[in-house]
Amino acid sequence: MQTRIGMQYSFTKSTLKKIESIFEALGYTVRYEKGQFNSGYCMVQNRNIVVVNKFFELKERIRTLKAVLATIAIPAEIQLDQKAAKLLQAIRSADLFSEPAAITS
């Protein structure tokens, strides 16, 4: 089952691969390993490595990588392709990966 994200993105392997490609373009390595991460991930100091809890489901992996992207400063000299830049902008400008708010009356 796939869940729609905003108007364009879904919690799919394709979306995960797109997000991972943004990390690669930024010079980061994404690894999935077991460990005791309070936030679901850790960043290795002085090295561009993001380690995500390997037991996370696809949806949580996407959410975790989205949270990491929000904390990374992007150097001006980094040029992402148009699709990657659009996805990164969407990730940073809106909470595309959260559940819709419940409607109450």
What residues contact 63, with CB distance under 8 A and at least 6 apart?
A: 97
Average pLDDT over the chain reads 78
Q: What is the DSSP letter of 92?
A: H
What pLDDT shows up at residue 5? 45
Does the pLDDT at position 92 exceed 70?
A: yes
User: Residue 3 — very low, low, confident or very high, per pLDDT cuts 50/70/90?
Assistant: very low
| For residues 10-21, average pLDDT | 92
C-alpha Rg value of the chain to the nearest Å: 14
Encode pLDDT of 31-76 as tens digits: 998 877 766 677 777 788 888 989 999 999 999 999 888 888 888 8
Please tell me the pTM assigned to this model: 0.75
Does the pLDDT at position 103 exceed 70?
A: no
Report how far residue 56's alpha carbon sits from residue 21's, in angstroms, rounded to the nearest whole number: 19
Q: Answer yes or no: are the C-beta atoms of 51 and 29 closer than 8 Å.
A: no
Does the pLDDT at position 100 exceed 50?
A: no
Percentage of the chain modeled with pLDDT above 90: 24
Any idea where the domains of the chain sit in the sequence? 4-93
3-class secondary structure, 6: coil
| Structural element, H or E, at residue 29 | strand 29-33
Report how far residue 77's alpha carbon sits from residue 84's, in angstroms, rounded to the nearest whole number: 15
| Structural element, H or E, at residue 67 | helix 58-71
